[in-house]
Amino acid sequence: MKLAMLPIVDRTALALKKLEEDIAAVETDLCGVVIADRWQDQAMAAICRPVVLAELKARKASLLRDLESYGVKVE
């Protein structure tokens, strides 16, 4: 990795950390659904949770690929 890439790597690593926190929150049922400023019931959240989790994991995989393309080894 070139030193000029450091700010990009830092931003990507921060985004990855936030995504990991979001994934953990969804996996532990700390996820809700709001429509027009109204919280929906747990049944609605349960229906949406797998879709949200799949999207978050796809975004995480994308960030990991980005880091790898920058020459960063992620363990």
Q: Does the residue 11 lie in any domain? A: no
Q: How many domains does the chain have?
A: 1
Task: Tell me which DSSP letter residue 70 carries.
Answer: T
User: Which amino acid is residue 60, in one-letter code?
Assistant: K
Mean pLDDT calculated for residue range 39-59: 97
Residue 2, in any domain of the structure: no
Tell me if 63 sits within 8 A of 23, measured CB to CB.
Answer: no
Alpha helices for the chain (secondary structure H):
6-27, 42-69
Predicted confidence at residue 26, as pLDDT, reads 97
For the question of whether the overall pTM of this predicted structure is more than 0.75, the answer is yes
Token pair in block for residue 58: 């796809």
**pLDDT band with cut points at 50, 70 and 90 for residue 74:** confident
Helix (H) or strand (E) holding 38: strand 38-39
Where does the pLDDT of residue 2 fall: very low under 50, low under 70, confident under 90, or very high at 90 and above?
Answer: confident
What range defines the domain where residue 66 resides? 31-70
**Within-domain flag for 54:** yes
Share of the chain above pLDDT 70, in %: 100
Task: With respect to residue 10, please indicate whether it lies within any of the assigned structural domains.
Answer: no
